[in-house]
Amino acid sequence: MISLCDVGPRDGFQYEEKLIPTDLKRDVIEGLVAAGLRCIQVTSFVHPKWVPQMADAEALVARLPHHEGVVYTGLALNLRGVERAIAAGLTQVELSIATNETHSRDNANMTVAEGVAQAEAMIALALAHGLQVQLGFQTVFGYAAPGDTPLEKIEAMAARFADGGLESFSLADTTGMANPVMIKERVRALQAVVGDVPVVLHLHDTRGLGLANVVAGLECGITRFDTSLGGLGGCPFIPNATGNIPTEDTAYLLDQMGFETGIDINKVAEVTRKMATFLGRDFTGKLYRLV
Amino acid sequence: MISLCDVGPRDGFQYEEKLIPTDLKRDVIEGLVAAGLRCIQVTSFVHPKWVPQMADAEALVARLPHHEGVVYTGLALNLRGVERAIAAGLTQVELSIATNETHSRDNANMTVAEGVAQAEAMIALALAHGLQVQLGFQTVFGYAAPGDTPLEKIEAMAARFADGGLESFSLADTTGMANPVMIKERVRALQAVVGDVPVVLHLHDTRGLGLANVVAGLECGITRFDTSLGGLGGCPFIPNATGNIPTEDTAYLLDQMGFETGIDINKVAEVTRKMATFLGRDFTGKLYRLV
């Protein structure tokens, strides 16, 4: 069994300029649940000044019906975000920290060490309130160039959190710099560091290598991937960049390779087509056009 | 060293309704040569009633300058096509035959056995005139469903041609039905049958698995792939289908995995952007948008 977590309602929607009504977001999330998704990243608790599309985070979470076995996660980037996730009643929060000094400075205006210290405080707060915590490492496979974040640095960071009560680690290819060789090298190295904590791969298809990287991840024993309906999403650092690996295409790949996902690809594609109609453009996923 | 053959001027252009002027086709081909491509499928010798875009086959070939080490190939689907390729002065012709009875009937209105017999006559004619011949097998990984062409049938066909003086075999995933597991199974089985004759993979990215399938092909020792600038192309049987694996994205994957291709991705992308402007739409390749 391979589990996909659809992060489209957060990682995809956040780049859209056209305001997506809260009810449409809820319908998308409900559609994904009906399609068999058991993990959905529904929003991020960031300041609406930075991401206006996420201003309805609390309102959206309040409208999501409970489904047995379905986890809704939200992204938090600081203590205030964790507080909001707790208050909103989420059971799982995702934190995401920089691993590359240049990226950390460019994106978060702090050093990596400052981000680590902040994450420790955020984890403590979330755990104290009974939330499960996924800790994401950004640009694990490169920021400005493939592999430009030293693996040793990421290993040291992972070691610091390995016994910290995390539900999972997420290794993010934020800028789509990974390739199958690097996936195998870095994923195996980090799995060795974190031991029993599950490792999730969060891959972007910026350069078209997303599904090839999934296969490399499978060969490392990865059983959880972040995906996005239709491949919705982008990258704030790269104009015209395509987004996350598409949920439908990833589910199809896995299905064809003999892995169970529990996902009804046709039903995901229906949701994707609804969003493509609303946003008025095609996405980069392939399957949603065909099924 | 991995060799890519850009089949875009044939497999891509043939689906375009807007007539592409012969001089623009020549400029595209010259651009690909300048970008380091050493094999380009420039046209097909089919009746212009079926593919009006290829009506200028002879005129185009006549306008292509000779470049040392560069092979221009043309596709022929019957004896008349081979005669035209010979008369046009090409040094290599590609033949392409059905392996699936339903596909053969639907597409060529003949049985697979009739196609094989016709191919033998075509090969004899081409070899008698000193041309190199690549024989392509269609829908090797499925026609209406993944794997619906029996492998034993394809193996028997390959065995019949294994000592026939071919320059290479091409295994085509015409409908994008392949997945990495099936690639390894079928490619290895067919390599065992054809012995020393090089095997080329002709992959379509219809379902987004193209580059994952390239990696599987590399693991089988494949060193030659057909690609298309920007991923231009489609599939006549599948509405909205995307096309061949993109030349730029494939070259990038290979480069990142440490394989030499001799291809300047930026220069290919320039050619792709010129065609995207001419045709007035985006293609499915990722890299050409970024570099």
Of B179, B240, B246, the CB nearest to A208: B246
Indicate which CATH number applies to the domain containing B18. 3.20.20.70
Note whether A209 contacts B207, CB cutoff 8 Å: no
Helix B210-219 and helix A210-219, axial crossing angle in degrees, nearest 10: 50
Residue A68: give the domain boundaries: 3-290
What pLDDT band is residue B199 in, cutting at 50, 70 and 90? very high
Q: What is the pLDDT of residue B238?
A: 67
Angle A42-A43-A45 (CA atoms, 0-180°, nearest 5)? 150
3-state helix, strand, coil in chain A (%, to 5): 45, 15, 35
Q: Spell out which residues of chain A touch residue B241, defining contact as CB-CB under 8 Å.
A: 289-290
CA distance A130 to B37: 58
Which pLDDT tens digit goes with each residue over A168-200? 999 999 999 999 999 999 999 999 999 999 999
- The confidence score (pLDDT) of residue B282 equals 87
Contact across the interface for A290 and B241, Cβ inside 8 Å = yes
B86 contacts: CB under 8 Å, gap ≥ 6: B93, B125, B126, B129, B131
Contacts of B87 (CB under 8 A, 6+ apart): B58
3-state secondary structure of B34: helix
Quick check: helix, strand or coil at residue B222? coil
CB pairs under 8 A between A and B: 94
pLDDT of residue A284: 87
Cβ–Cβ < 8 Å for A14, A236: no
Give me the interface pTM, i.e. the ipTM: 0.90
pLDDT (tens, 9 = 90+) of chain A, 291 residues, equals 999 999 999 999 998 989 999 999 999 999 999 999 999 999 999 999 999 999 999 999 999 999 999 999 999 999 999 999 999 999 999 999 999 999 999 989 999 999 999 999 999 999 999 999 999 999 999 999 999 999 999 999 999 999 999 999 999 999 999 999 999 999 999 999 999 999 999 999 999 999 999 999 999 999 999 999 999 987 666 666 778 999 999 999 999 999 999 999 999 999 999 999 999 988 889 999 988
pLDDT at position B240, please?
A: 66
CB atoms A211 and B214 under 8 Å: no
The confidence score (pLDDT) of residue A239 equals 67
Q: Is A131 helix (H, G, I), strand (E, B) or coil?
A: coil
Residues of B annotated as catalytic are 235
- β-pairing, A168-173 vs A199-203, is parallel
Measured between beta carbons, which residues in chain A are less than 8 angstroms from residue B146? 256
Nearest-angstrom CA–CA distance, A55 and A48: 5
B-chain residue closest to A212, CA distance: B212
Contacts of residue A181 in chain B, CB cutoff 8 Å?
256-258
Q: Please name the residue ranges forming H helices in chain A.
A: 22-34, 57-63, 79-88, 101-108, 112-128, 151-161, 180-194, 210-219, 247-256, 265-279, 287-290
Q: Cβ distance A275 to A230 under 8 Å?
A: yes
Domain count, chain B: 1
